[in-house]
Amino acid sequence: MLTLKASYTVTPLEPSPTGLVYLSDFDQSVALTHAPTVYFYRPISDHLLNPIEILKNSLGKVLTIFYPLAGRLQRTRRGRLEVNCNSMGALFLEIESEAKISDFGDFTPTSETRALIPSVDYNKPIDELPLLLVQVTKFSCGGISLGLGMSHVLVDGRCAAHFVSEWARIACGEEPENLPFLDRMVLKLEEDDLKPPRFDHMEFGKLPMLIGQTNNFEEQKKETTVVMLKLSKEHIQQLKKEANEFPSVYTSSKPFTRCASKARLHEFEQLTSMGVAVDFHSQMVPPLPKHFFGNAVSQMRATTTSGELLSKPLGYGCSKIREAIEKVTDEYVRSSLAYLKKEKDLSKFRYSHVLGSTQGAFLGNPNIVITSWIGLPLCGVDFGWGKEIYMGPGTIAFDGKSFIFPSRDEEGSFDAPFRLQVEHMDAFKNCLA
């Protein structure tokens, strides 16, 4: 039982720049919804601390620095998106819950976890929707959660981590450490750069569908469920050995693809792809500013047949992922921008963070998508009452979607919540066992 105690609109504490902010075509082609994450904190021992006031006041300060997050999206005459920096502010909810943190078990993203993050009505005009959603939930045990929804149009994982870390510093009374680089024009092609794309960009093409199907409408309707996979340090080391020392971010995800194909009972000739986000900050020439505030990832895809995936060694699958990742160079990124620039409708490339949504692209069966948070400073966030006991995604929105991030259980281990159709989940878990 959740009870709304108060709702606030938090605006920048000081006057911020106004006007319109350009959004690159990488910003334009991601989910229009909010990426949901949640942090859980133990009961606060210092009764003089008021987490609501600390978070609310420090949010006003950090929004002065990250002021586009206090604005609203609007459409241009071409139908593209831009940010109106009008300081309309972030939504901030104060909630009380009868639950205890222990009720959330291993923190598998469920509907109960999703309820710890504000939801919005995406049927409303886009210029009415806050770009930042915040919910502080007080549990009966004395602990709290901080649920965040951040507009994916404005931020990728690196940006989200940067924003939260600066917010925590300010909440602790410290000065900001790294100011965001807010000029997204560095990813705008000049007119003389608008040459035809030099690559095929299969990542923007149609995804594989099940053999014999002409659409995936029926697959979208199927009931799904989530399992929290625990990958121990020893498990990771064994996978690296089998895969000839490919980095764990790839080896730890590869068994998911193999097990998903096996559990889904794919035919030998069934094409299957794995989507992986590739950060291209350092691939650009010159490199993007370290604290560039905007989407700077290419959504690449490794594709093969389920038969090859299951019959060949683990290293084969890892090599397919490595091939996709190594495509991402400065030239490839600029070619991607040229490809997206010529597309009139970018909605076909978008998916939704809203569970059960049928809007946009369906990335599930026979495919999977792995998002790695390994290397991102998303964990260890202290607002003045200690670091979180857990941080993770608030929901896993669609079939075949998974995240991988460091576990707090053991150094070198990972947590990986994974959503799959109910009819395939038991076979999937048996395959991983």
Q: pLDDT per position in the chain (433 positions), as tens?
A: 899 999 999 999 999 999 999 999 999 999 889 999 999 999 998 888 999 999 999 999 999 999 999 999 999 988 899 999 999 999 999 999 999 999 999 999 999 999 999 999 999 999 999 999 999 999 999 999 999 999 999 999 999 999 999 999 999 999 999 999 999 999 998 765 567 888 999 999 999 999 999 998 899 999 999 999 988 888 877 777 766 644 444 444 456 777 899 999 999 999 999 999 999 999 999 999 999 999 999 999 999 999 999 998 888 888 899 999 999 999 999 999 999 998 888 888 877 667 766 666 788 999 999 999 988 888 899 999 999 999 999 999 899 999 999 988 888 889 999 999 999 999 998 887 6
Q: Using DSSP, state whether 427 is helix, strand or coil.
A: helix
Which tokens belong to 384?
């003045």
Shared fold status for 2-187 and 199-432 = yes
Distance CA 293, CA 315 (A): 35
Topology, domain 199-432: Chloramphenicol Acetyltransferase (3.30.559)
Query: Is residue 305 within 8 Å of residue 283, measured between CB atoms?
Result: no
40 Cβ contact list (under 8 Å, min separation 6): 101, 104, 107, 143, 144, 145, 388, 389, 390, 391
- The structural domains of the chain, with segments of one domain joined by +, span 2-187, 199-432
**Which whole-number Å values give the CA distances from 270 to 86, 222, 261, 399, in the listed order?**
50, 20, 9, 17
Find how far residue 133's CA is from the centre of its chain. 15
Calculate Rg over the CA atoms of the chain.
21
Specify the pLDDT at position 329: 97
Active-site residues, by number, are: 152, 382
- Nearest Cα to Cα of residue 430 among 317, 312, 263: 263
Enter the pTM of the model.
0.93
Q: Give the separation between CA 316 and CA 393, rounded to whole angstroms.
A: 30
**Nearest-CA neighbor of 37 among 159, 129, 126?**
159
The correct answer on CATH 3.20.20.70 for the domain covering 2-187 is no
